[in-house]
Structure 1
Amino acid sequence: MPSSNVLLEFLKHEQERPQSIFLRQPFNGQWKEWTRQQAGDECRRMAAALHTLNLPAGSHVAILSKNCAHWFMADLAIMMAGCVSIPIYPTLTAASIQPILEHSNAKAIFIGKLDDFASQEAGIPSHLTRIGFDDYNRNEQHNWNNLIASSSPLATLHQWQPDDVFTIIYTSGTTGKAKGVMHTFGHVDITATTAISELQLTPQPTMLSYLPLSHIAERIGIECIGIYLGATYSFVESIDSFAKNIGEVQPHIFFAVPRLWGKFREGVLNKLPQKKLDLLLSIPIINNIIRKSIKKKLGLARAEFIFSGSAPLSVEMQSWFNRLDVKILQALGMTEDCLLAHFERPTARRFGSVGKPFKGLQVKISEEGELRLKSAAIMNGYYKEPELTAEVFDEDGYLRTGDICEYDHDGFLFVTGRLKDQFKTDKGKFIAPTPIELKLSANTDIEMTCVVGMGIPQPIALVTLSELGKQKTKEQLIESLSATLATVNTTLEHHEQLDKIVLMKENWSMENGLLTPTLKIKRNQVEKIHQQFYPKWFEVKGKVIWE
């Protein structure tokens, strides 16, 4: 039976170390800090204000903001008041925000640090109570600082039970309509205590929170587990200041997605081309100086635990960073399993794998090769969607993950694709695109790739160029990408071999609807736009062509 919860862990550290720094927020290049005592006082005042605003215990309260100190304080205030949090991706459009707010029965919303709220505002129903984070120039019906100033701290905080719903997290919707995943305080406690024990995480770490807190990995892996550890959190002021901020923070625990690792590598190679880097790393003594210098510039000089998730990271990328003494640990989790999942451990790694299961996770592989899970941290279900909930569990009560996986003889799990991503060529052969895409990503001229092939005899790869690739001439790109294509094809079965690479005119982004907020490709959207052109591209001569 869980013995604690996120709120109790915050209160414990607040009592034991009231003057320790909890939150650090950059404003115009200067850091503002909150001790645990100061943050706790603001949270209690905001919790009291929520009750004053006719939001009793049990009310659903949304948070729409980029990561910032006030996101954490709003979350804690919601817990103190006995309410349920509904985090919303800060990059969603009005058309995506509105159905989530309506479906979740949200009664109020915190509106904070945002890039373009004017385009999102129409998605907020008029009946919701709005509270602005005015430190980020968000002035609303009610504002954080005024409510704090006019409210006394809530004297009696809500007493949560393990089975009480902590949050409803809406999935990022790679395949369509977002679903509200219900997680309890008990689920989070099981995951946090298990992860801390099995990964041997160090107490009181410095952490940087920058990936969306509406995503399970950042919410549980960074915010909640960090609260258990008594972490100090810093945030990023803007995209432009990311490199500067991480360099100043030098976090002990760092989590990124594959796209960011690609950007990190690009940054290194822009200053140190691969041949020169290889030479320097081959020289004794100099190699250690180079590694330390690169790690410091990346903000990873003090990093003890470096994780990658959300999508597969290629063996080649993991190996590349390993040479720099940046030891990236892969993990495989999903919103529905609350991150009680598979993780590589610092002492048990295998490139290309996502590690081994945490204790308490029951696993089976179906006849189709699908990974299925059962544990005490699996979601209660999808909010107000009993039929969708029933569909995602098999007859034995195991969660269907949708991942096609296999274990090696030492018990390391390898992901070979997604069930829903498989497609059939017009020869009737099934293709799993993910492993092929990972092999292509070894070429640093490529930023993103999507292997497709419905309606044509052989698959093709749709590719967007990296910044390094954009600096090359057309002839250089043809040479580079043709060589990669030939190399990759030698590793594939005949029916999997790529006929050509098609370079896309524009980048894939959240703005044009082709990436999720966690920077995964929305394959169905890419297909929807481009599938009509596959036969034409297939007929064009050449191994590398332009859209």
Structure 2
Amino acid sequence: MQTFNSPLEAFLYWEEHTPDRVFLNQPINGKVITYTFFQAGEESRKIASSLKALSLPEQSHIALLSKNCAHWIIADLAIMMCGYVSIPIYPTLNAEAINQILIHSESKAIIIGKLDDYKSQKKGIQNIPKISIGLYGVEDGELWEDILLKEKRLEQVHIKKPNDLHTIIYTSGTTGMPKGVMHSVSNFMKSANTGIDIFKIPNHCKCFSYLPLAHVAERIVTGTCGVVVGAEFYFPESLETFASDLENCQPYLFFAVPRIWSKFQEKILSSVPQKKLTFLLKIPIVNSIIKNKLKKKLGLKQAQVILSGAAPLSESIIHWYKTLGITILQAYGMTEDCIISHSNLHEANKIGTVGKAIKGVRIKFSSIGEICIKNDCLMSGYYKLPEVTASVFDHEGYFKTGDIGEYDHDGFLTITGRVKDQFKTDKGKYISPAPIELALSKNTDIEQICIVGTGIPQPIALITLSELGRKKNKADLSAGLIETVHQLNPSLEKHEKIEKIIIMKEDWNVDNGLTTPTLKVKRNAIEKIHQEFYKSWFEDSDKVIFE
């Protein structure tokens, strides 16, 4: 395998050796614009020239605000070509959050790409040069298209040294202000090369990039690995076209978070009810026809590596997909460890765990069972937060993950909760909500779950409904939820048993601030809104309460 010292070095290699190969496929208004390696190189060099013309100091920070698209990749390459540091920003953040990151990161300019509602975000960007992309309907500052017409290409690109700062990734923040995680060029390359090696990712495979590239997992698993192997990138045009865009791509590797797997399952079950599906899968010849048809429809017919991460995925969902011939490998990593931690592999896969430690990873547990990790690509620290940085490393240089876990006798790791998520009921007993939430999630009527219980004798489950759940009448829905709790409670300790289920009126999403951009539930935000009602809900005679 060809080895490179930076993502830019990898791109320059493919640009030189395969200039006419298609690199990026960008759907827009039902058509697809393609960019070869040569074309992407030309555009990135011209954008780099425009950035250089701003006469910014070396290693300046350049923000990138956009949904995943061809221009995100080209803009990232342009920032690298200048020797600058990229500051990716989640495209769903509001103006205030964008402004916080721009100020904290000391960004000197911003590239604005594909967005759903730039009008409401615009006021968060003040007093720095802007480059915007007219193709996506954003015209603010200098137009990308105008730069391509007037600028000469940057002839001398900057090749960073391995220890130079490559990017600052702001965590999606389940609690408080996001922190800027600093990663070097070598961190990204070590992480990407490890992924390519363990998942055997071939050159020029197809990638489907849809989870935010502002998140470390997508940035490395798809973005960086994809550039290193000279992959062909595909992007979804919109939420409405997502399914057909993925089906059209049929990627080699597919990475998703638990909410996506639940949504896919819902979609299948809404067209083929479970009883009918179970019956069809029992018929030998029909079985393979159904599996192939569903895999093709999902866009996973050619997928050799199918990963789930960012949050725990319930065993029942993994087993359900297995009946369709789809093997989901759970993995575990963080922004701070550049996602090199643990993963299940085809040759070593244990459902319910996040796999064994990846080669080169060292792990130890604190006295309370907190996972502490060391690898060759740990962050250099949180930007401008030396005291916080010092607090998350122990005296041996291990990073304290904040996750609680345990190994089984075969060396597979199970995450049992978050240190900060633990709470006490008024009986004074600690509860870790994550395993209980995971067990409840096997009920397909449930979309999201937050187990709470501060100040009441027993925990209660706050939930939002899936599309399947919303279609049911209250009596059937309640009966199904009560049955799930009855099945679960005997396996729990006395102080952990679920007393009530509260069905929320509204979904938890990024817009209302109740999930992160990677769809993790923000427990603190949910508790802040609902804690005053816990006592009255607990004392209500109904087992299922509709808020």
Please classify the TM superposition score into its range, dividing by the shorter chain length. over 0.9
Aligned-pair distance for 1:54?
Answer: 2.3
1:252-401 correspondence to structure 2 within 5 Å: 252-401=252-401
Is 2:8–2:159's contact at 8 Å kept on the other side of the alignment? no
| Counterpart for residue 71 of structure 1 | 72
Aligned with 1:421: secondary structure? Answer: coil
Residue identity in the other structure for 2:71: H
Aligned mates of 1:103, 1:503 — CA distance in 2: 38
Matches within 5 A, 1:171-320: 171-320=171-320
CA distance in 1, matches of 2:546, 2:334: 36
* Post-superposition CA distance 1:123-171 (Å, at most 9, x none): 112x210000111111122111111221111111102101000000001
SS in 1 for 2:491: coil
Which residue is equivalent to 1:434? 434
Q: CA deviation at 1:57?
A: 3.2
Cα distance in 2 for partners of 1:212, 1:194 equals 21
Q: CA RMSD in A?
A: 1.0
Structure 1 match to 2:460: 460
Q: C-alpha separation between the residues in 2 aligned to 1:83 and 1:196?
A: 26
SS in 2 for 1:541: coil
- Please say which of residues 340-349 and 268-277 is displaced more in the overlay: 340-349
Q: Distance in 2 between matches of 1:96 and 1:345?
A: 37
How far is the alpha carbon of 1:331 from its aligned partner?
0.8
| Residues 105-184 of structure 1 mapped to structure 2, 5 A cutoff | 105-125=106-126, 127-184=127-184
Conserved 8 A contact 1:162-1:184: yes
Instruction: Please tell me the residue identity of whatever aligns with 2:408.
Output: D
> AA paired with 1:252?
Y
Deviations along 1:224-252, one digit per CA (max 9) or x if unpaired, are 01111111001111111101111111111
1:94, CA displacement in angstroms? 0.7
The answer to whether residue 5 in structure 2 is matched with residue 27 in structure 1 is no
Shift of 1:34: 0.4
**How far did residue 202 of structure 1 move?**
2.4
| Alpha-carbon separation, structure 2, partners of 1:328 and 1:354 | 11
Is the contact made by 1:437 and 1:451 (CA closer than 8 Å) also made in structure 2? yes
Normalising by structure 1, report the TM-score.
Answer: 0.98
Query: How far apart, CA to CA, are the structure 1 residues paired with 2:270 and 2:36?
Result: 39
Provide the aligned length of Structure 1 versus Structure 2.
545
TM superposition shift of 1:56: 4.6
The letter for the 1-side match of 2:446 is I
Question: What is aligned with 1:6?
Answer: 7
Alignment partner of 2:42: what SS? helix
Mapped partners of 1:231, 1:375: distance in 2 = 27
Query: The residue matched to 1:490 in structure 2 has which SS?
Result: helix
The amino acid that maps onto 1:516 is T
How far, CA to CA, are the matches of 1:317 and 1:16 in structure 2? 43
The alpha-carbon deviation at position 414 of structure 1 amounts to: 0.5
**2: CA distance, partners of 1:417 / 1:179:** 21
Contact 2:9–2:159 at 8 Å: present in 1 too?
no
Q: Give 2:311's aligned amino acid.
A: A
Structure 1 distance, partners of 2:122, 2:331, is 35
- How far residue 3 of structure 1 moved from its aligned partner, in angstroms, is 5.4
Partners of 1:478 and 1:178 lie apart in 2 by 38
Deviation at 1:52, TM superposition (A): 1.0
The question of whether the paired residues in 2 share the 8 Å contact of 1:56 and 1:81 is answered with: no
Contact kept, 8 Å, 1:56 with 1:82, in 2: the verdict is no
Alignment of 1:27-106 (within 5 A): 27-106=28-107
SS at structure 2 position matched to 1:97? helix
Q: How far, CA to CA, are the matches of 1:542 and 1:482 in structure 2?
A: 11
Contact 2:4/2:10 (8 A) holds in 1? no
* Residues 50 and 56, structure 1, Cα contact 8 Å, conserved in 2: no
Partner of 2:424: 424
- Secondary structure in 1 aligned to 2:284? coil
Query: In structure 1, what is the Cα distance between the partners aligned to 2:402 and 2:57?
Result: 38
Moved over 4 A (4+): none
Q: Distance in 2 between matches of 1:48 and 1:359?
A: 40
Matched-pair contact (CA < 8 Å) for 1:87–1:213: yes
Counterpart CA distance in 1 for 2:101 and 2:141 is: 21
Q: For 1:430 and 1:141, how far apart are their aligned partners in 2? A: 53
Report the CA distance between 1:542 and its aligned residue. 2.3
What SS does the corresponding residue of 1:415 show, helix, strand or coil?
Answer: strand
Q: Which amino acid aligns with 1:539?
A: E
Could you tell me whether the CA contact under 8 Å between 2:445 and 2:466 is conserved in 1?
yes
SS of residue in 1 equivalent to 2:406: strand
CA distance in 2, matches of 1:57, 1:255: 35
Secondary structure of 1:396's match? coil
Identity %: 53
| CA distance in 2 between partners of 1:141 and 1:493 (Å) | 59
Question: Which SS does the other structure have where 1:468 is aligned?
Answer: helix
CA distance in 2, matches of 1:228, 1:350: 29
Please give the alpha-carbon distance, in whole angstroms, between the structure 2 residues aligned to 1:481 and 1:202.
45
Indicate if the aligned counterparts of 1:195 and 1:358 stay in contact, CA closer than 8 A: no
For 1:49, the aligned partner's letter is S
Q: 1:203: Cα distance to partner?
A: 2.3
Deviation per residue, 1:198-221 (Å, 9 max, x gap): 222222210111111110001111
Q: Distance in 2 between matches of 1:225 and 1:268?
A: 30
User: SS of 1:211's equivalent?
Assistant: coil
Aligned-residue offset at 1:354: 0.7
